[in-house]
């Protein structure tokens, strides 16, 4: 099995908590301003991390949300809708 830096639970915890705090003020408003309404849309979140954007899409009314993330540590921080479907995959293997 390959070593993955994102499987270090302590490092991931620190990253996720910092990222969530910063995203609310910086990243989220910028990204939301360029996205179309998601109601009834199908959403694919590649490299989903802890699933924050997947959860946002589900809460925004997307009809289907699929999150793709390899790191178990990252996925362990997902605390949002059960309507998000998770796939475990390393993106570099997708062609």
Could you report the per-residue pLDDT of 3-44, keeping only the tens digit for each?
576 777 777 777 777 776 666 677 788 888 999 999 999 999
What is 20-81 written as a DSSP string? HHHIIIIIHHHHHHHSPP-TT-EEEEET-TTSHHHHHHHHTT-SEEEEE---HHHHTT--S-
State the pLDDT at residue 90: 83
Could you report the per-residue pLDDT of 41-57, keeping only the tens digit for each?
999 999 898 888 999 99
State the pLDDT at residue 63: 96
- CATH 3.30.70.20 for domain 5-93, yes or no, is no
State the pLDDT at residue 85: 93
How far CA 58 is from CA of 9, 13, 18, 94, 95, in Å, comes to 26, 23, 22, 24, 26
């Amino acid at each position: 099995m390959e070593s993955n830096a994102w499987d270090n639970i302590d490092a991931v915890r620190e990253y996720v908590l910092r990222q969530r705090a910063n995203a609310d003020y910086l990243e989220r408003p910028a990204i939301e301003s360029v996205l179309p309404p998601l109601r009834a849309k199908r959403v694919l979140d590649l490299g989903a991390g802890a699933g924050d954007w997947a959860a946002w899409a589900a809460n925004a009314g997307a009809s289907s949300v699929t999150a793709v993330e390899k790191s178990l540590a990252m996925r362990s921080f997902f605390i949002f809708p059960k309507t998000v479907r998770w796939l475990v995959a390393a993106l570099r293997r997708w062609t």
